[in-house]
């Protein structure tokens, strides 16, 4: 038997990880309800190369352009985030932070000026690529299997998410995906 040095998370740690993912999704829904009732929270999204738009790096994943947009992000966010959360609270938190920072900063740096970027799809794309890349770097059978399943289920979404489409932040998708790959590489226990 070969040890990868990776410690299996305890059941309570997995539950806390799942709770974090559920809490983030609940906050997304609460924010959208407040946005509909009170109005204009979406203006706190990422505004490229605008210093005031930097707050959007943290806020954008919780802001959505309506309930349809939110619903479209919620299911994959919960499913993919839940799979990552099975590796524990620290893992899902670290992946989410890395993806949000890389994705948000990338959008802020390269997206067209005078645009506004909101939504959790950058996080979703980061979760997809994290799960695929984790299998490649860890070389653990379970991680490889999960990566193949994720690629099979979300491969089309991944491919079409990078196609420039009016009203869709392909930059958020692309930089979120890069963040997921970076998270898998940074968090790979074999590197340490």
- Per-residue pLDDT tens for 56-81? 999 999 999 999 999 999 999 999 99
Quick one: which of 78, 83, 103 has its CA closest to 9? Answer: 83
> Can you give the pLDDT at residue 191?
60
Q: How confident is the model at residue 156 (pLDDT cuts 50, 70, 90)?
A: confident
CA distance 78 to 24: 9
> Can you give the pLDDT at residue 5?
47
CA distance 14 to 38: 36
Segment among 19-23, 165-169, 175-179 with least mean pLDDT: 165-169
């Amino acid at each position: 038997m070969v040890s990868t040095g990776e410690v299996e998370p305890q059941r309570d740690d997995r539950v806390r990880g799942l709770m974090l993912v559920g809490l983030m999704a609940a906050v997304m829904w609460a924010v959208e309800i407040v946005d509909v009732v009170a109005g204009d929270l979406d203006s706190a999204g990422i505004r490229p190369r605008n210093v005031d738009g930097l707050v959007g790096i943290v806020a954008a994943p919780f802001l959505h352009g309506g309930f349809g947009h939110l619903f479209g992000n919620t299911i994959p966010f919960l499913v993919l985030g839940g799979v990552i959360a099975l590796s524990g609270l620290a893992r899902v938190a670290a992946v989410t932070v890395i993806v949000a920072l890389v994705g948000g900063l990338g959008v802020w740096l390269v997206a067209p000026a005078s645009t506004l970027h909101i939504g959790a799809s950058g996080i979703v794309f980061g979760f997809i690529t994290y799960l695929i890349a984790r299998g490649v770097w860890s070389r653990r059978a379970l991680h490889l299997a999960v990566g193949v399943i994720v690629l099979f289920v979300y491969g089309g979404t991944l491919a079409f998410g990078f196609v420039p489409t009016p009203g869709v932040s392909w930059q958020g998708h692309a930089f979120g995906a890069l963040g997921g790959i970076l998270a898998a590489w940074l968090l790979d226990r074999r590197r340490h």
